A and B are shown apart, each in its own frame.
Chain A
Amino acid sequence: MTGGARIWALHLALVAVLFAALFVLPTYHATNLARIMVLAVFAMGYNLAFGYTGLLSLGHAMFFAAGMFAMGLPTWHWGWGGGPALLLGLVAGGAMAGAVGLLALRTAGVSFMIVTLMFAQAGYLTILYFGQVTGGDEGFVVEAAARSLFGFDLSSDVPRYLAALALFATALAGCLWLVRSPFGRVMVAMRENEERSRMLGYDPFRVKLAALVISGLYAGAAGAAYGLLFGYVGGSFATIQYSILPLLYVLLGGAGTVLGPFLGALAMFYLIDITSGFTSAWLFFVGAALVLLILFAPKGILGTIRERGARWLP
């Protein structure tokens, strides 16, 4: 089997396992897994900017929320259906990332992190300020009529799981294709040595802006899907917490790996789920896990596996 075939086979196998899981897992865990898959799409998008292109953003909550609100508001105010609303969410995430990128990419490193954080905070405050339109910090429940896609009711378990899986599989295939493409190589080149890349004829600003927009499309799609599948849109999704979560997923799973964001989201979700079941101090366990990660596997789960022998992993 050639390298390319082996890689695609591995990723297809994961999608197949996730499909089979629907028939094996109890409803509670299936719903969790649907949530994890959508969050993993968010993290995959984050990883394209951070893990591959080296853009450490703290503003991704804004792109996630842009997708969520661009999906939710038309369903609430204008009675849009789920399909068009979902598409608008995807576009909104990308457009927001493009707008922020045009300004924020004039900076780099720590400044970029701070500028993106400021933009995201401004976005959050904007949602609160226009509370009558956005639902403010209470948010709103997505109309039942809007929560259907191609005739399937997304508020029931099986269609919801399948919709999450379809989104995840599409995002995964897109990510895998992108990072193995010539443009994926240029993204990594920007991360590794920007000056050298410039002197090979690549415009750093354009490459980073393109990567950020793609990342925003992922975040927007994930935000829109999250609202549509789980029926709630709220300002809390625009808080700093939702910028840090994808960062944690990516660090835990392995920055710059295709499957890392999913593994990270899965591990972090269940770490919180299990520990919060018996203690209110579950954040302590999250912190401890991160300390252990930094000490023993700074490249994350998949990054460490890749380093220890599976070098073919994308």
Chain B
Amino acid sequence: MAALMQTEGLVRHFGGLRAVDGVDFRLEPGEIHALIGPNGAGKTTFVSLLSGRLPVQAGRITLAGQDITRLPAHARVRAGIAYTFQITSIYPRLTVFDNVALAVQSRGAADIAAGVAEALGRVGLTGLDAQEAGTLSYGHQRLLEVAMGLALKPRVLILDEPTQGLAAGEIEGFKALIRSLVPDTTILLIEHNMDVVMDLADRITVLNFGRVLAVGTPDAVRADPGVQDAYLGGHHAAG
């Protein structure tokens, strides 16, 4: 099957720092793909290249066979790549309704109110429409961020540390939400919480020093000695 999204030899250096250093990557349609690796491995830089927030220095990105390497970020969103921020990025002074409506109207939906209601319903924020987004609890702001991503009805949803700062109960709900999105939406997940990763992911890519260390199913990645050395063993055992 053709990959939904693919990169070949993707490079982004910051001075001497090789944040992303020749990454080949395949995102299959309908999968939940997790991207893991130690802090500084280049995960956020990599998805920033995918979403167009950072320009690519070398290499190629395709979406459903189309070359999008030079497409500006806003055009990639329109093409179906949604990105939710690691540090919550909402419009704190606008209402919850307006936050989500901005995403709904971006995809050209006819009925904005219905689109907003649907997205809020999916993340469990129904009824908070009129509240100023900045006054929501942190967990709710994270969910609002996800709702904005969902409201775009993307083909690929990139979630950068979505469960960071969520309570245990909220994480269970979040996992169910993500499972309900596939296979219509393909998920690329950056996540530090290994329980979430092992539970959700169909496949995992491990990055280390800007390069791909391993790719495979959770079991295969867990068993990979290179991955255990670099990252997973100690961390996972402790977690």
Contacts and interface: CB of A to CB of B under 8 A. Distances in A.
A182 B53 contact: no
Given A185-B101, A185-B102, A201 B91 contact: no
A201 B106 CA distance: 6
- Per DSSP, chain A at the interface is helix
B77 A200 contact: yes
Interface residues of A, number: 17
Interface in B67-83: 72-75, 77-78, 82-83
Given A182-B112, A185-B98, A186-B102, A201 B93 contact: no
Given A182-B105, A182-B112, A185-B102, A199 B51 contact: yes
Contact of B94 (A188, A195, A202, A204): A188
B231 interface: no
Contact of B72 (A195, A200, A203): A203
12 contacts: A182-B101, A182-B112, A185-B98, A188-B98, A189-B102, A192-B92, A198-B73, A199-B51, A199-B73, A201-B74, A201-B75, A202-B102
A186 B105 CA distance: 9
A197 B106 CA distance: 10
A185 B105 contact: yes
B89 A201 contact: no
Contacts of B89: 193, 195-196, 199
B98 A202 contact: no
Interface string A225-246: 0000000000000000000000
Contacts of B98: 185, 188
B103 interface: yes
Contact of A192 (B77, B94, B103, B107): B94
Closest 6 A-B residue pairs measured CB to CB?
A: A201-B77, A201-B106, A192-B91, A182-B105, A196-B89, A203-B74
A166 B93 CA distance: 34
Contacts of A185: 98, 101-102, 105
Contacts of B73: 198-199
B152 interface: yes
